Amino acid sequence: MFDKLDDLLIRYEEIMNELSEPGVADNQDRFRRLMKEQNDLAPIVEAYKEYKANNQAIEDSLAMLEEETDEEMKELAKEELSESKARVEELEQKLKILLLPKDPNDDKNVIVEIRAGAGGDEAALFAAEIYRMYVHYAEGRRWRTELISVNENGIGGFKEVVFMITGQGAYSRLKYESGVHRVQRVPETESGGRIHTSTVTVAIMPEAEDVDVVIDEKDIRIDVMRASGNGGQCVNTTDSAVRLTHYPTGIVIYSQTEKSQLQNKEKAFRLLRSKLYDLEMEKRQASEAEARRSQIGTGDRSEKIRTYNFPQGRVTDHRIKLTLHKLDSVLNGDLDEIIDSLIAADQSAKLANMNEEQM
């Protein structure tokens, strides 16, 4: 591990030297590549430098204990030795996590697809609440949201809603949200006061670039039509809605949120690319299923991952056995405690898996 860290330290210094060269920004592709590499390496380099400094402090404290005769100075050296040893242990663990292979999609924007599941209108109403939860979370992190398509049920619920979240590291934070979200509550229409259980399915897909997925024009049928449902003055008056059909997979994309047919077509293709990229990711993950069993990750979408219990005001994530009694704030976008816990559990599982492989 430390040989690798020394190599990364040398590489970091090389990058900093290259970035200080005159005219480096003239080549924008090279400049962006160097800046990205520098940003990726910076946390590792900072932690490693601190690790080395604390190791040096341990040596200095041990030398002082051997040479020093003053009892007060010896006590001070013992305290510094204890603090430095504890910090070295913390930094070793941190460096192991920082050196874990990085998900290549972590820096990508995401497309979120929320579908009402079991529960009829109640499920659709909950789908709308889950949509608002992610929008609030994105706003709190200063990410941008953009609606791609929505299918409403007429009473404020969503049968399906698809939207994009644009922001640094969006996929790295939200990739754990894929799966079945379950709600337990008494619906407003329930006169007997019985608790009903409904579900929605959330799919988190990294936005695919043109270079990630190549779509053959012969595999696509494009239909244009008049938009329907609630909307502005262009609804039912112009052929602005776009439907894409991808023959090889049977995927159908419908986009009508924009007034412009061109904009709806662009959104539809972005969603199609991401769905095709996501399918390819699923195939790869299936082939790696054995290695992934012990890990928290972007798993099976049929897996029940979380329950939102209204009578008890609690949220439970079943993968990591985490229960929080702050349902209102979670639904208002306060997701960091859950997501941080999921990331920590995933990292611990990967570290344990790596240690087993090395034994």
The predicted structure's pLDDT at residue 104: 84
- Give the highest mean pLDDT range of 125-139, 151-165, 215-229: 125-139
* Mean pLDDT value of segment 281-287: 72
For residues 89 and 143, membership in a common domain is answered with no
Per the domain annotation, does 356 fall within a domain? no
Amino acid found at 258: E
Together in a domain, 35 and 119? no
Residue 144 has pLDDT above 90, yes or no: yes
Check whether residue 153 and residue 66 sit in a common domain: no
Tell me, yes or no, whether 12 and 71 share the same domain: yes
Are both 292 and 163 inside the same structural domain?
Answer: yes
What confidence category does residue 182 fall into, taking pLDDT thresholds of 50, 70 and 90?
Answer: very high
286-326 pLDDT, tens digit per residue, is: 655 544 444 455 445 567 999 999 999 999 999 999 999 99
pLDDT of residue 189: 65
* Angstrom distances, CA of residue 89 to CA of 25, 56, 251, 353: 40, 14, 50, 20
CA dihedral for 87, 92, 97, 101, sign (positive or negative): positive
> Same domain, yes or no, for 139 and 91?
no
Q: Which of 178, 176, 19, 174 is CA-nearest to residue 107? A: 174
Question: For the residues 117-132, what does the mean pLDDT come to?
Answer: 92
Please, what is the end-to-end C-alpha distance for the chain in angstroms? 15
At residue 279, the pLDDT reads 85
How far, in Å, CA of 245 to CA of 129, rounded? 29
Confidence of residue 136 (pLDDT cuts 50, 70, 90): very high
Sign of the Cα pseudo-torsion (263, 269, 270, 272, in order): positive
Residues 84 and 176 in one domain: no
Given a cut of 60, is residue 353 above it in pLDDT? yes
| Predicted pLDDT at 141 | 95
136 with 94, same domain?
no
Q: Are residues 58 and 123 in the same domain?
A: no
CA 294 to chain centroid, in Å, comes to 19
Return the percentage of the chain with pLDDT > 90, whole number.
Answer: 38
Residue 340 belongs to domain with CATH number: 3.30.70.1660
Q: Is residue 193 left, alpha or beta, with left meaning phi > 0 and alpha meaning psi from -120 to 50? A: left
Coil vs helix vs strand at 308: strand
- Segments forming the whole domain that contains residue 317: 110-348
Closest CA relative to residue 254, chosen from 225, 231, 277: 225
pLDDT band at 63 (very low <50, low <70, confident <90, very high): confident
**pLDDT band for position 229 (50/70/90)?**
low
Burial class of 200 by CB neighbour count within 10 A (0 to 12, 13 to 18, 19+): buried
Q: What is the pTM for the complete model shown? A: 0.74
Question: Considering the domain boundaries, does residue 357 fall inside one?
Answer: no
E strand or H helix at 158 = strand 158-166
Residue 22 sits in the same domain as residue 140: no
CATH number for the domain spanning 82: value is 1.20.58
Question: 42 in a domain, yes or no?
Answer: yes
Domain count, the chain: 2
